[in-house]
Amino acid sequence: MRRAAWPLVVALGAAACAPIPAPQVLSEADRISQSPAALDAKEHAAPSWARAEKRRLEAHEALDKGPAARAQFLAEEAIALYNEGIALSRLAKATLREKAHLVEHDTLAAELRELDAQQARASSEVAALEARLAALTSLADTTATGAEAEAKRRDGARAFLLQGQLLCAAGRAVGDGGQGGSDAELKKDLDAADAQLVALAAELGDAKKQAPMEAIAKARAACSALLGRARRAGSTKAASLPTGDLLEQLSAMAASSGALMAPERDERGVVVVLRELFDGDSLKPGAKERLAELDRVSAANDRFPIAVVLHSDKPLSAAERQKWQARGASIAGALGAVSKTKKLVFVADDAEPLVGRKSPERALNARVEIVFISPEAL
């Protein structure tokens, strides 16, 4: 009997020692690094290319040393930096052509404006990823001690908990839009993930306990994986829509209208950032116009669920949170082309600031994200 069990023991040991598979995004970073456009960036936008290569190599190192989430974020940042370098490279070459008078002035001027917009989008994606990486670093740093270090870890844990909540909500929206049509096993796993997030939020809210950093990081990774499952399940039911095309469409709309919408792409899909939408608790006329433009875009891309995420520049009391929830409902109501089952409203409080909470520019943290949740794998 014992001798017969040996092959099973050996097999289990081999499985336990098997290398962790590389995240898909890391393979994508490797592919982009060898693309002609990236190699072109090496010549014309060397600083961005060098930063991208550094992040890609760090991602491979992180895959070996852990945590795996760090490898994924580093790979995402590498891709954003490659895109930034590619945009800068094209911009540099176009500028050279302009100086050499190889094309008509008006045509080239339009091309340069578009390339400037591409570079700005790539830079914004890099900045967003660097902020997320900083949060991950604070989670992973268990060596620092003292009240200040614990406060940083708690802030990082809050940011990751929020991201997990948003990713799981996005997975549910992609899965069935709230109509009960998603895979039963997926729904069961999303329910379990949501329950885990609620428990972790309660634990994090107890100032007497240490921030449950590792558990929150795992919960966030689980929600990201569930969103991927929902997208794969949905791809068998209908053709995927090009998320990149939607980003280009929103960027062109922002450029033509002069609105500071700052479209960018993250794990959830395409994100448009809006500010100063309200006069008191009422939408400003200009805000209604911007939301009407976004509503027209959503009508033309109706497979994208919409999430309205409100970020504050300070902690919100229970009464203030109710007011912010009502504001979110006003914004969602202005997006009439989206069915109610495909719209989410989420008050994020001040869990994910863009600048320091005590910075003179902390008002920048108050913003509204309109997220076009991608139904396709990014």
Question: When comparing pLDDT for 15 and 108, which is higher?
Answer: 108
- pLDDT tens readout for residues 37-51: 888 888 888 888 888
The average pLDDT across 119-146 equals: 55
Question: When comparing pLDDT for 7 and 314, which is higher?
Answer: 314
The average pLDDT across 61-88 equals: 80
Q: What is the pLDDT of residue 160?
A: 87
356: confidence class by pLDDT, cuts 50, 70, 90: confident
Residue spans of beta strands (DSSP E) within the chain: 264-265, 269-274, 278-279, 282-283, 306-311, 343-349, 367-373
Length of the chain as a residue count: 378
Q: What is the pLDDT of residue 366?
A: 92
Can you read off the two tokens belonging to residue 93? 């070459």
- Cα–Cα distance for residue pair 167/77, rounded to 1 Å: 18
- Amino acid letter for position 176: D
Domain ranges of the chain: 20-140, 147-235, 243-373
Name the one residue in this structure whose structure tokens are 């329950």.
Answer: 195
Name the one residue in this structure whose structure tokens are 């072109």.
Answer: 40
β-pair type (343-349, 306-311):
parallel
Most confident range (mean pLDDT) of 18-22, 81-85, 122-126 is: 81-85
Q: What is the pLDDT of residue 193?
A: 95
Q: What is the pLDDT of residue 12?
A: 37
Give the predicted TM-score (pTM) of the model. 0.65
Q: What is the pLDDT of residue 311?
A: 95
Q: What is the pLDDT of residue 2?
A: 45
Question: When comparing pLDDT for 179 and 231, which is higher?
Answer: 231
Mean pLDDT of the chain: 78
Q: What is the pLDDT of residue 1?
A: 43
Q: Which of 363, 365, 327 is nearest to 346 (CA)?
A: 327
Residue 127: how many other CB atoms lie within 10 Å: 13
Answer whether CATH 3.30.1330.60 is correct for domain 243-373: yes
Q: What is the pLDDT of residue 137?
A: 55
The average pLDDT across 290-316 equals: 92
β-pair type (367-373, 306-311):
antiparallel
Q: Is the pLDDT confidence value at 291 over 90? A: yes
- Cα–Cα distance for residue pair 262/371, rounded to 1 Å: 12
Q: Is the pLDDT confidence value at 299 over 80? A: yes
The average pLDDT across 114-127 equals: 59
Q: What is the pLDDT of residue 241?
A: 52
Q: What is the pLDDT of residue 369?
A: 94
Q: Is the pLDDT confidence value at 185 over 80? A: yes
Tell me if 53 sits within 8 A of 33, measured CB to CB: yes
End-to-end CA separation in angstroms for the chain: 50
Q: What is the pLDDT of residue 105?
A: 60
Q: Is the pLDDT confidence value at 165 over 70? A: yes
Q: Is the pLDDT confidence value at 243 over 90? A: no
- pLDDT tens readout for residues 78-115: 888 888 888 888 877 777 666 655 555 666 666 666 66
Q: How far is CA 56 from CA 36, 59, 62, 83, in A?
A: 17, 5, 10, 13
Q: What is the pLDDT of residue 52?
A: 86
Question: When comparing pLDDT for 105 and 321, which is higher?
Answer: 321
Question: When comparing pLDDT for 59 and 106, which is higher?
Answer: 59
Tell me if 251 sits within 8 A of 263, measured CB to CB: yes
The average pLDDT across 9-32 equals: 59
